[in-house]
């Protein structure tokens, strides 16, 4: 069979994936379907991409009649496509959807491939839901955020030939690296689960030991911001710690990253890892940080630092104060790694390879 028209179904539209969608669109008549409406993002994307609001994800329907009705309506949506890519989420009813759709067209999965989330440790035990193993075995092909799941599922007898990697990444503005950096950066959504208060307390301890420690800059917003600002004032760090708020302009972000010695996060290491690497900034995080696999890009002392506890984080901050050039060098290594291994074009290649595999191996 020949695959020309592809539908990617997502729960929400992601602006950061626009460059990825554009790259895939160079090869296929590519549509993005979504099930949770965000009017602002919809307006931003509709003039750039072919998108379709699917109105519901009723594959979690409770009754058999509801399930049959949903599958019928879903089939009407996908009938005009040559392949469909579903989110790799082991929710109730997803196995029925995969099995039903595979009788009509190739079904691919895209996602982390193991349990992960803000409240779930990477590759933790799954409870009371279909396993990733079952989904991956049933689908025509699977596309993962990293190669970690492939090694896992090969051992569990999933054929390697039907598993592909599209390393999760973001597009950045290419810059000339600045050898002189001025600050330490914290960027993202400030959630309580990220435990950024620990980072501030470690920074205070290190500053008390060495007042040449570079300033700490927070870029972003979120539920924990007010408490973090209050903590900074309480411990007397007003002159050393700044909160810039959320910044989306890539020119401004490029300037901020370009002056950063390192990016630090305590309990979370997601796409900010790739953003930092693309801008030539070393990333520092906890060894067991919440991640979708992005943390696996960090090679300790080469492209960033990994710490076990607050004492090690304190020591790293002291090290930054005493040997900032070491971290600038790690950032240069990270920059090379990003452009050699983690560009959006390389991510899209994983999708293209998976679709080509389905085209060659699909049972007619």
Are 5-169+343-361 and 183-341 the same fold in CATH? yes
Q: What is the dihedral of CA 93, 97, 98, 100, to 10 degrees?
A: 130
Residue 332 has pLDDT above 70, yes or no: yes
Of the listed ranges 71-75, 119-123, 159-163, 231-235, the one predicted with least confidence:
71-75
Element (H, E) at 333: helix 324-341
Please state, in angstroms and rounded to a whole number, the distance separating the CA atoms of residues 69 and 81.
20
Q: Where are the domains of the chain?
A: 5-169+343-361, 183-341
Burial 232-249, CB ≥16 within 10 A → b, else e: beebebeebbebeeeeee
Question: Treating both helix axes as pointing N-terminal to C-terminal, what angle do 310-322 and 324-341 enclose, rounded to 10 degrees?
Answer: 100
Average pLDDT over residues 110-120: 85
* Average pLDDT value for the chain: 90
Of the listed ranges 13-22, 48-57, 330-339, 349-358, the one predicted with least confidence:
48-57
Q: What is the dihedral of CA 333, 335, 341, 342, to 10 degrees?
A: 140
pLDDT, position 274? 97
Average pLDDT over residues 231-246: 96
pLDDT, position 129? 58
pLDDT tens profile 248-276: 999 999 999 999 999 999 999 999 999 99
| Domain at 183-341, CATH homologous superfamily | Glycogen Phosphorylase B; (3.40.50.2000)
Where are any strands of DSSP class E within the chain? 5-10, 29-34, 50-53, 83-87, 107-111, 141-144, 163-165, 183-189, 216-221, 241-245, 260-264, 282-286, 304-307
- Residue 151 pLDDT grade (very low, low, confident, very high; cuts 50, 70, 90): very high
**What percent of the chain shows pLDDT beyond 70?**
90
pLDDT, position 311? 97
Residue 286 has pLDDT above 90, yes or no: yes
Of the listed ranges 4-13, 214-223, 325-334, the one predicted with least confidence:
4-13
pLDDT tens profile 44-53: 666 555 666 6
pLDDT tens profile 312-331: 999 999 999 999 999 999 99
Asked if residues 248 and 15 have their Cβ atoms less than 8 Å apart, the reply is no
Where are any strands of DSSP class E within 134-223? 141-144, 163-165, 183-189, 216-221
Residue 351: C-alpha distances to residues 30, 110, 171 (Å): 12, 9, 17
pLDDT, position 216? 98
pLDDT, position 240? 96
Answer whether CATH 3.40.50.2000 is correct for domain 5-169+343-361. yes
Of the listed ranges 53-62, 96-105, 213-222, 281-290, the one predicted with least confidence:
53-62
pLDDT tens profile 158-194: 999 999 999 999 999 999 999 999 999 999 999 999 9
What's the pTM? 0.91
**What percent of the chain shows pLDDT beyond 90?**
71
Residue 127 has pLDDT above 60, yes or no: no
Average pLDDT over residues 112-117: 87
């Amino acid at each position: 069979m020949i695959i020309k028209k592809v539908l990617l179904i997502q729960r929400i539209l992601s602006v950061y994936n626009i460059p990825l969608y554009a790259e895939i669109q160079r090869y296929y008549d590519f549509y993005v379907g979504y099930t949770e409406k965000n009017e602002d993002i919809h307006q931003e994307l509709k003039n750039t991409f072919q998108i379709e609001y699917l109105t519901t994800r009723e594959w979690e329907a409770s009754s058999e009649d509801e399930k049959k009705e949903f599958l019928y309506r879903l089939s009407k949506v996908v009938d005009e496509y040559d392949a469909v890519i579903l989110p790799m989420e082991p929710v109730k009813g997803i196995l029925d959807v995969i099995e039903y759709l595979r009788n009509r067209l190739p079904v691919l999965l895209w996602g982390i491939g193991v349990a992960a989330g803000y409240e779930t440790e990477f590759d933790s035990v799954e409870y009371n839901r279909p396993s990733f193993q079952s989904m991956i075995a049933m689908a025509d092909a699977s596309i993962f955020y990293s190669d970690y799941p492939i090694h896992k599922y090969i051992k569990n007898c999933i054929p390697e030939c039907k598993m592909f990697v599209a390393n999760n990444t973001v597009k950045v503005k290419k810059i000339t690296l600045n050898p002189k950096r001025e600050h330490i950066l914290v960027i993202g959504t400030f959630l309580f689960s990220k435990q950024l208060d620990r980072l501030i307390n470690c920074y205070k301890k290190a500053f008390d030991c060495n007042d040449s420690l570079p300033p700490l800059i927070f870029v972003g917003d979120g539920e924990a911001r007010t408490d973090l600002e209050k903590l900074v004032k309480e411990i007397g760090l007003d002159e050393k710690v700044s909160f810039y708020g959320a910044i989306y302009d890539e020119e401004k972000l490029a300037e901020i990253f370009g002056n950063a010695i390192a990016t630090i996060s305590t309990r979370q290491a997601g796409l900010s890892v790739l953003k930092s690497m693309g801008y030539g900034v070393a990333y520092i995080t906890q060894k067991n940080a919440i991640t979708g696999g992005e943390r696996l890009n960090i090679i300790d002392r080469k492209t960033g630092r990994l710490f076990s506890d607050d004492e090690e984080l304190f020591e790293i901050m002291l090290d930054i104060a005493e040997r900032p050039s070491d971290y600038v060098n790690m950032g240069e290594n990270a920059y090379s790694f990003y452009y050699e291994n983690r560009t959006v074009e390389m991510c899209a290649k994983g999708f293209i390879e998976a679709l080509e595999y389905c085209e060659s191996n699909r049972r007619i």
